[in-house]
Structures are given as C-alpha cells and as structure tokens.
Structure 1
Amino acid sequence: MAQPDRTFDYVIVGAGSAGCVLAARLTEDPGVSVALVEAGPPDTAQEIHIPVALASLFKSRWDWDYDSEPEPALDGRRNYVPRGRTLGGSSSMNVMIYTRGNRVDYDDWAAGGAEGWSYDEVLPYFRRAEDNQRGADHYHGVGGPLTVSDGRSLNPLGEAFLEAAEQAGHRRNADFNGDSQLGVGRFQLTQRNGLRWSTADAYLRPSLDRPNLTVITEALAHRVLFEGDRAVGVEISQGSALQKLRADREVVLSAGTYGTPHLLLRSGVGPAPALTPFQIAVLHELPVGQQLQDHPFLTLNYLTDEESLMTALSPANLALLQNEHRGPLTSNIGEAGGFMMTQPGLAAPDLQFYQSPALFYQEALGPLIAHGFAIGPCVIKPTSRGSLTLRTAAPDTAPRIQHNFLTTEEDQQTMLAGVRIALDIAGRPALKSVTTGPFTVPESSSDADLLAYIRRTTQTLYHPTSTCAIGSVVDSKLRVLGLQGLRVVDASVMPSVPRGNTNAATIMIAEKAADLIREKAN
C-alpha cells in the first residue's frame, strides 16, 4: 500500500553515529527541513543505557545480526557481525571507548588525495564534538554534545593488567588521544554519569522538539530515487506501506559501512558485475562495497578468584549505579588496554590491546560461567581487504560480507606477535598472582599452536570502514562521484581504517560533513 510522497530539504538514511550528528547540526538552521530515517526501533531498551549490559543487545531486535561469509584464513568460519539497529546505531551498542586513531592515519588520508582531512584539519571537529570531563587543551574540547569521561568501574583486574604490562616494559599512557598513542592505560568513554552517551543521547534527543526535524523509525530504505543522474529521494517501507521521501537539496546516506553500500548497490550504483546477476540496471558504475577494512581481534581468557563482572548484575551494584553513578554496572567491558608496536621503526602502533574483567570468548556470545578476565591483541593497520556484495536484490536480505581477515602474511605475523605479547603480559607477576588457571588459551607457545589458536578464535572488533571511500566512491566533500544531490556521511568514506576505535572518527566525519553541506568549510 503506497503512502503520499513527503518532501524535505534533506533526507538522511540511518540514525546512527553519523546520522544523528548530521540531523542535529543541519536543523540548527530553522529554514532547513530534515527527515532522518532509521530502520530500527527507538532506543528505549534499558540494556542500551546500562553499559555492562551491552552484550545482551547482541542478536536482539536492536541488532542487524549479520554473519560474514566463510573466512578463508579463519578455518572457513563465519564471523558474527553485530551492528546497531536503533537510534544511535552502533553507538547504542558499542563498548563506548573513545579513541580517535593516530595523527598518521589522517595525514595519510590527506596525502592520498583526501583534501581537507589531515590531522590538523580534522582536530577542530574532534574538539567541537567533545565535552571532556578532564577539561580543554590542545587536543580536547569542552562544551560539545559528546560527553567523554573516565570510567567509573575501575575493576582491580584492570590495574593488575596495567601493572603486568609495565612489568613487560610498556609505559603508562593517561591519554591515547594526546601527543602520543603508545602505552597502556584506561580508556576514556562516551558515558555521562556512568551511563552510555550515544549520538542519540548527545545530538538527536536535544533536537527532537525542532519543527524542522522529522524522525522516522522502523522504516527500511529500499532504494535511492534518481531523475537522470540526480538523487531526488528515497523509497522506504514501514510494515507493508511504501512511501517516497523527496529531497529538494540532497540525499545523505549514513547507513554505515555495510548499510550504505548495500543501499547504493540496490539502487544501481556499483560495479556492473555485482549488479547484473540480480537484474539491477546499472545507473552509475563505481567500486561500491570494495576495499572493506576492519580490525581483526582475539582474546586469551584466564580464570581468577578475584571479583569479575560475572556478578555485576546485583541489587547492591544497581543501587551503586542509581545513587552514586559508578560501580560494575558502568563497566564498558573493555576497561583497559593500550597501543603497541610489534617492531621498531614503525610510523605508528600496529597493535591495540584490550583487557576485560570478565571472560570474553565465542565472539562475546559465550556465557559468564566463572570469574575470569580476558586480554587480547587487535591488528589496527591491516593489509587484508574484503568486500560487501548483494545476496539478493531484496532490501530485507542481509548482504554478503567478506572480511578476508588475516589473508596477508603481514597481518598474520602482526597477530602472531600480538599473541606473544599477550602471553608475556599474562605471565608477569601482577597478573599471574590473580590467575588460577587458563580458560581459553593456545595449547603451547609454538608458532603452529599459536597460529591454530588465531585461526580458531579471531573475530571482528566491530570497526568496518572504507566501502565507499574518499577518492574511489566519494570526493573530499563526500559527494558521490559522477552523481548529483547524493552524499555519503559515515565510516564507509574513510580511505583506510584508523588505528583505534572508529566511533569518535565517525562522529568527527559527521561534524565536518555538516560544514561541508552548509558550505562553511573551504
């Protein structure tokens, strides 16, 4: 059943980490009308807002619940790929770690042709977004929508990890977003008063009373509508009702690294060989969905007699959260970690480490059956490349996701070095003194056993990027090459994945995009 067309200045598809930012910034102009379209429901679930409950969102109605194709370097396993499907998108179900990547990442973007995206040029947008509880300095801002705070759980197992890392020769670092990324410490988090602070909380909710903003939830985008080479709107469905949302100025795709290329491909924008098998007419040929990058990650798990997050959901801890805004329920799971180099002479770290004061196994789907902790490396400058392609032409069918994790010798050797560093840290006195035994670890320290463990346990760290990258699919102002009235604003435009968690960088991209759209930038 068709509904009447509706017309706006801008139609934004995806109310996630980027879409919420963009909708809030564009509607600061009362003369501009914006429709923000989200496939998922509102972010009303209590589990979204209590940080430690984030794993309970996996495979729920707030999760796209994707699976990868069989991964050739991971024993042919399919990786579970969670993505947020609600207001706030994946910022409503991530681990809330606020890291921006390395200066080198952005300078490399600019050197590769992404004009205006060097570190010095994007730093003001990081600062504009931020309200850092530590105050303002050269690197950090205050007064922005995004509250960035120190963790309020501070499980002692995290301190044991940090002491063990120091014993292994790694220095402490109080700020991974400052003048140096190297070292170990506790992560800053996108939390306010001990609760999750998603982009829906930070940007969208304060804007909902604006008469020029229309938020449409539980609405699936079918295709971008074109007249010639100009995008003029989006076709959506709510239940069985179809509707066309017209855009007088621009259609902006903020559906994420998987969702945006999936929508473009269904709309006839992409490589012809990827479209013709599905009888999709090729409107415009671009390498949409190619060059997928993500951070491969694994953990080693150990048992302990110390208190872990296994018992976090207690009445006493609930009272601690409600009355003092702290305690185990505020834990983001990955409380501590750091950045390291596997060899001297690198331009920047190639490993990020995470420590969790709880068991973290079976792609975070394993039950907490005992007190334990997890530590593990993540390859943060992978050379492997994947792709996203269609499974069918139907909008409600999941895409094919092929990460190709660890398919290069370089990535395998980096992960192998990372596992050896993890074993070294786990064997130091500060951690060994709180360890009662192994839970999931390699069978031995031989290369063969370590590589077998790597193939058996490597998973995504939920940081996909680059499927609509600047220079190949969009220009430096995020306009889709060769088309009019169509822009992409999300992590898919990153020319390469940054060395760190990608949420902060995605928010920065949306902040800068708002200026690009409003033509405030050079």
Structure 2
Amino acid sequence: MTKPRIVIIGGGNGGLLSAHRLADVADVTILEAGIDPGDPVPHEFLHEHAFPEHDWDYTNEDSGHHLVRGRVLGGGSSVNAAAGSRGQPAGFEAWGEGWQWDDLQPAMRALETDEQFGSEPYHGDTGPIRITRLKPGPLDLAFYEASKAAGHPECPDHNAPGTQGYGPWPTNRVEGGRWGALAAVAPLVRERVTLRPSTMVDRIVVQDGRAVGVEVNGGEEVIPADLVILSAGAYGSPEVLWRSGIEAPEIGEGLQDHPWVMMNVLARDEDDVMARPVSGSLLRAGVADDPSDEFQVFPFSTWLYDRTAPRNSYSVSVALMQPESRGRVYRDDAGETRISLAHLKDASDLERMAVAVRRTAAIIDAMAETGIVAVPDDAWWKQDDLTSALREHVETYNHPVASCGIGRTVDRRLNVVGVEGLKIIDASVMPRIPDGGPNLVTMAIGWIGGGIVLEDLGL
C-alpha cells in the first residue's frame, strides 16, 4: 500500500509533534524556512535568548515593538523562555466540543515527563518533553516571601488543575538547557521524515478546491501532497493562506496575546539575578481576588533579553491572562502583512491590568524593604495617571494565538473551511487564548492534530 504524502509547512511545536505521530504511516515532508541547528543542539539554542539572525522580524504596528518569532527548527520553542505552564481548566471552556480541558489532557500527559509530579494522574512520566522546577535563587526566595506576606498561598505545582499562588515555574528548561521541540522532538523525527530546512514556502497549490501541493523557493519546485498541514504559527499561517489565494473565513481575525508590562528594579547584587536569571519564580492570582480572572507575575533577568540593560536589572513582569481585547493579522493596500495586537483596547483589560500592577507594586515594595532590590525614583507604575502609563508601557508576552480559530477559519477537525486536503495545526487555531503559556498547549494541538489525521486516513 502506497503511503499518503503529507507536506507540513513549518517545523515548530505543531508541525514537529504532528510529524512525530504521522511519520511511521505516511510519507512526511517538513518544510522549514529556518535552519536545522542539528543534533546535538548547539549551546546557543539551549541557553541564549536573543536570536536576531533567526527571527521573522515582525512588528506590532500599535507600538512599534519587535515581536519575537523563531525562524528555526522548533519555531518559537527554540527561542522562548521555556515556560511549561498549561493554564486553568476553565480557560478552555470557550474552545467548544472536542477541545475542552479533558480532551486535551491525554495529549498533555503523553507529551511530558514531569520530573517532580509525574506520578500524579494529571501528569505524564514517559513523554519526550521534560518538565521540571528549578532551584530558586536569592531573588526568587525574596519574591516568595513578599508574595506570602501579601496573602498568596504557596503553589509547588502550577500545573495542578485549579491551583494558584507562588512557587517555581514549571519549565522545559532543564539544567542542560531549553528542552523544547528542537532538543526533544526533532531527534525523534529526523530519520523518519524528509526534513527540508532553509526552504521558503511560496504558496499552497489548490486545484478544483483541493490542496495538491506546495510551491517553494520562488517557484522553482512544487512538492506534491495528498494532505497539506499548515503549521506556520499565528502570524505565518494567515500569510501563507493569503499568498495561496485561499479565502477561508476570518483569516487573521481574532488574534489574541497576553498584555504584559515590565516593572524594572535594580538588584543589590547582580549575582542574585544571575543565580536564577529565568524560569525561576511565578505568581498566579485572581484579579481583585477573582480566581477565574488570572494575572501572572514573572521576575527575570532584564539583561538576558536586552544586553543594553545593567546586569543587575531585574524585571518583575505582569501579564493579564484572560484578556478580552482582540487584534488581527492583515494585509495593507500594498499587500504587506501587518500585525495589530490591540493590547488593552478593551476597557475591562485596562482596568484589570491596573489592579494587577498595583498588587504587584506592593510585592516589589516589600522586597525593596529588605534591601535586596531598589525601586527607581521615576518608576512608571508610581505615576498618578496609571492608565496612561499602562498604555505607554504595555508590551507582548509573545503568546500570539487565534488568528485562524476553530469555528472560524478551521472546523473542529482542523480542516480549512472551503479547501479539501488542507489542515492547520498550530497556535493559530486556538479559539481563545488560554490562561497559561501556549508552548505546551500548541504541542498538545500538534499531538491531537496528528491523531485526527490518522483517523481521517483510517490509519
């Protein structure tokens, strides 16, 4: 029996995880615009955080801020902070039939090996993605004490359903470095698929309403396919659809991201920062004590991401995890892709973010009282007009999702509406942003999407 030919556009979380499930029963080709760093993974892709030469160079038109997106095998998971948080069960209620918390859990468990809680029924202990919680540094411990004094409970496992409080980040950054799709999944598929790095996709070829192949590298080649899986991410997937002349519903609309601000202080000693510069401590709490409306506080080394910052700069960052605002990916009159994240556009987001910042400021002040950090005299969050300050300082948590959402651009089996033989399997299909990072959730979508393809093919 001839194996079906499946072409996957994009080697990020969605693409690699779906390829992992399909590689033994199909002739799978992965087209990745970026490089394949190889196996073993080079040091920088395990430990570094600034990759201008491996970035798609997107910009948020609202603010002019750069939007980090990895142009490399592994996609965003090769350049991110390696957060391994799933979000709360209630955050998936809006996803609809087949995509609820209980539907996602088998994939979550299959993906992970949780080094502390793998024996718990909601965790896994045999999957390729290692999840751990790193030993706290001095600033993490001070953050814990200040959070406790503010009335927050201790939370040893932020991936336990329904829990909130302060505790160590669940992370796929183990002591050997970033253990994401590049380090953990790519080695499982390289010898089982045709992997084509540094290959730019021009368009999906559609004939008589069906995807039949993918044109690459300026039209020099068309790769035939029985099924095309688009996994180019929340910004890239709409672009590929437009270049292909596909007019599915609401392409690029409904984009969501977590609004995020940095409250920068100076540590007493740069060694305190660098003892645990990233993936250390995390606080999750309900805005105005509403547990269903969550904000996150994530301290980290500013210098890791901004080499112009002092090495003792410490960013206490705050994110609103259930935003109502929605932006869009769209084409301007010249046909260029534009991105508007529309952070804090909804009035309720602005109000709730102000509450989260005030509550975080109290924690920072408590840390400052111990002398471990110093608050700048001109701290923006101390301004009388906090609303204006928030609009000026809001940035992105770099969690873009939902630009080709289920129920809009794709159906519940991830088929692109109006085109046969074409699925989208990446973060763009999320109907609504979860109240955790999309890293593991996108891997779960890749895992489930691969299973859907197996069912569709009767394999």
Contact 1:302 1:437 in 2 (8 A): yes
What's the offset of the Cα at 1:436? 3.2
- Aligned to 1:298, what secondary structure does the other structure show? strand
The answer for the alignment partner of 2:145 in structure 1 is 163
Separation (CA, whole Å) in 2 of partners of 1:17 and 1:332: 25
Separation (CA, whole Å) in 2 of partners of 1:46 and 1:457: 34
Out of 229, 237, 241, the position equivalent to 1:252 is 229
What's the offset of the Cα at 1:437? 3.8
Mark the runs of 5 or more structure 2 residues left unpaired by the alignment: none
Partner AA of 2:216 in structure 1: I
Partner AA of 1:436 in structure 2: A
**Is 426-435 or 18-27 further displaced after alignment?**
426-435
Out of 6, 10, 28, the position equivalent to 1:14 is 10
Out of 359, 366, 374, the position equivalent to 2:302 is 359
Equivalent residues in 2 for 1:338-417, closer than 5 Å? 338-344=283-289, 346=290, 348-356=292-300, 358-359=301-302, 364-365=305-306, 367-391=308-332, 399-417=337-355
Q: Does 1:420 align with 2:416?
A: no
Contact 1:302 1:439 in 2 (8 A): no
CA RMSD between the two structures = 2.3
Taking structure 1 as the reference length, the TM-score comes to 0.82
Q: Deviations over 1:62-113 (max 9, x none)?
A: 11121111x2xxxxx2121010100100000000010111101222212xxx
Separation (CA, whole Å) in 2 of partners of 1:429 and 1:236: 54
Taking structure 2 as the reference length, the TM-score comes to 0.93
Separation (CA, whole Å) in 2 of partners of 1:480 and 1:463: 22
Separation (CA, whole Å) in 2 of partners of 1:140 and 1:443: 38
The answer for the alignment partner of 2:422 in structure 1 is 486
The answer for the alignment partner of 2:20 in structure 1 is 24
Out of 140, 144, 147, the position equivalent to 2:123 is 140
What's the offset of the Cα at 1:370? 4.2
Q: 1:20 to 1:429 in 2, by over 3 A?
A: closer
- Aligned to 1:348, what secondary structure does the other structure show? strand
What's the offset of the Cα at 1:452? 3.0
The answer for the alignment partner of 1:316 in structure 2 is none
Q: 1:504 to 1:267 in 2, by over 3 A?
A: same
- Aligned to 1:117, what secondary structure does the other structure show? coil
- Aligned to 1:263, what secondary structure does the other structure show? helix
- Aligned to 1:333, what secondary structure does the other structure show? coil
What's the offset of the Cα at 1:197? 1.0
Q: 1:214 to 1:332 in 2, by over 3 A?
A: farther
What's the offset of the Cα at 1:367? 1.8
Aligned length: 453
The answer for the alignment partner of 2:259 in structure 1 is 296
Name the % identity: 30
Partner AA of 1:187 in structure 2: W
What's the offset of the Cα at 1:309? 7.1
- Aligned to 1:50, what secondary structure does the other structure show? helix
What's the offset of the Cα at 1:430? 7.1
Partner AA of 1:143 in structure 2: T
Contact 2:285 2:291 in 1 (8 A): no
What's the offset of the Cα at 1:124? 0.7
Equivalent residues in 2 for 1:429-444, closer than 5 Å? 432-438=370-376, 441-442=379-380, 444=382
Separation (CA, whole Å) in 2 of partners of 1:439 and 1:220: 49
Q: Does 1:83 align with 2:69?
A: yes
Mark the runs of 5 or more structure 1 residues left unpaired by the alignment: 1-6, 72-76, 271-284, 313-327
Q: Deviations over 1:224-282 (max 9, x none)?
A: 10111101111110xx672111102x100000000001111121223xxxxxxxxxxxx
Q: 1:235 to 1:160 in 2, by over 3 A?
A: same
The answer for the alignment partner of 1:100 in structure 2 is 86
Contact 2:143 2:367 in 1 (8 A): no
Contact 2:303 2:310 in 1 (8 A): no
What's the offset of the Cα at 1:198? 1.7
Separation (CA, whole Å) in 1 of partners of 2:368 and 2:65: 33
Q: 1:86 to 1:393 in 2, by over 3 A?
A: farther
What's the offset of the Cα at 1:433? 2.6
What's the offset of the Cα at 1:439? 7.4
Partner AA of 2:68 in structure 1: P
Contact 1:15 1:87 in 2 (8 A): yes
What's the offset of the Cα at 1:445? 5.0
Q: 1:47 to 1:388 in 2, by over 3 A?
A: farther
The answer for the alignment partner of 1:321 in structure 2 is none
Partner AA of 1:179 in structure 2: P
Q: 1:491 to 1:411 in 2, by over 3 A?
A: same
